[in-house]
Structure 1
Amino acid sequence: MTARTRLLDREVAQALSALSAAAKKGLGDPVLAELVMIRASQLNHCAFCLDMHLASARENGEAEQRLDLLAAWEEAGDLFDGRERAALALTEAVTELTGGFVPDAVYEEAAAHFDDGRLAHLIGLITVINSWNRLMVGRRIPPGGWTP
C-alpha cells in the first residue's frame, strides 16, 4: 500500500493511479511527464506532490538547474526546448483556466509538438496531476509521506 492509498479512499487512489499510468505511458517521455507534474504542483501549491515528483525527476536523471528554474521556464532561455515549453505552457493553461478555456495559441503550439494521441495523453496527465494536487491540498497532506 502506498502513502496515497493510506491517505485517500482506495478506489479513488486506484482510479487516479490508473489514469496517471496510462497518461504517462502514452506520453512516452518520463522526464517530460515529471516536469509537467512538478509545474502543475507548483501552481497548485501541493507540497506533497512536489516532494514526490522532484524526487522522481532526479531519479530519472533530470538536471538540478532545470528543476531549480522550472517555475521560471519562460525566462530560462534555451534551458527548455520547444516541445517542453509547449507542454509547460499547456500545463499552465489547463491548470489555471482563468479565462475559462485554453488559449488557441497555446493549444496550437502544443499540437505542433505532439501528435493527437500524445497530446491527449499530455492533457490527461495534466488533468490527473491537478486532481492529485487538489486531493492532497484538500486533505492537507504534508510532504515527506511518499516512498517509491
Structure 2
Amino acid sequence: MTATQRLGFSEHAPEIYRALLRLHQAATKNVDPRLADLVMIRASQINRCAFCIDMHTADARKAGEREERISLLNAWQEVDRLYTERERAALALTEAMTVLTDGFVPDEVFRQAARHFDQDELAELIGLIATINTWNRVNVAARTAPASIR
C-alpha cells in the first residue's frame, strides 16, 4: 500500500518552506557533501522518511558514493571498515540527536564527535542533523511521496 500525500507543505506554508530551504543551504554549506549525504540518509532511515531516503540516496549515488556504503548504512556499527572514524562519529551523533530516547545526547557520543570535528565543524554538523530531522518530520507528517515512485 502506498500512502496518499496528505498535504502539499510548500504550497500551504510557503514562507516556512522557503525558510527551511535557506536553513538547509546554510546547514550543508560547509559540511563535506559525502558526509552530509550519509548523515541525511541515516537520520531519514531512523525517522522512516521515504521521501528523504529516496532523495538523499539518489544524491549520494550521483556524487559517487559506493552502493555498499549506502545499503549498509542502517547497520553502520556492524561494518567497521566501511566507514571512517570521522564518519562513524558523525553517524553516532546523528543517531543520538535523532532518537533522543534518554532526552539528551550522551557525553561520550559528543566527545567522540568533538575528537573528529573542530568546534565550527561540530556546530555545522549539529545544524545539519537538526535540519534533516525537521525535513523528515515535515515530510512524514505530510506523507510526501518519494520522487522515484510518483
* TM-score relative to the length of structure 1: 0.91
CA distance in 1, matches of 2:78, 2:102: 23
1:67 aligns with 2:83: no
1:51 aligns with 2:64: no
Counterpart selection for 2:18 from 14, 21, 44? 14
CA distance in 1, matches of 2:21, 2:72: 28
Match in the other structure for 1:25: 29
CA distance in 2, matches of 1:135, 1:145: 19
Between the aligned residues of both structures, percent identity stands at: 56
CA distance in 2, matches of 1:86, 1:4: 33
RMSD: 1.6
- Equivalent position amino acid for 1:41 in 2: S
CA distance in 2, matches of 1:103, 1:77: 21
Match in the other structure for 1:41: 44
Give runs of aligned pairs for residues 109-148 of structure 1, distance below 5 A: 109-144=112-147
Contact 2:54 2:148 in 1 (8 A): no
**Which runs of no fewer than 5 residues in structure 1 stay unpaired?**
none
* Superposition misfits of 4+ residues, deviation over 4 angstroms: none
For the pair shown, the structure with the greater C-alpha radius of gyration is: 2
CA distance in 2, matches of 1:145, 1:78: 31
- Equivalent position amino acid for 1:33 in 2: A
1:129–1:32 Cα change, 3 Å: same
Q: Which region of structure 1 is more displaced relative to structure 2, 112-121 or 18-27?
A: 18-27
- Equivalent position amino acid for 1:101 in 2: F
CA distance in 1, matches of 2:61, 2:30: 21
Give runs of aligned pairs for residues 95-110 of structure 1, distance below 5 A: 95-110=98-113
**Which runs of no fewer than 5 residues in structure 2 stay unpaired?**
1-7
Contact 1:42 1:71 in 2 (8 A): yes
Match in the other structure for 1:78: 81
Counterpart selection for 1:5 from 7, 10, 21? 10
Contact 1:26 1:117 in 2 (8 A): no
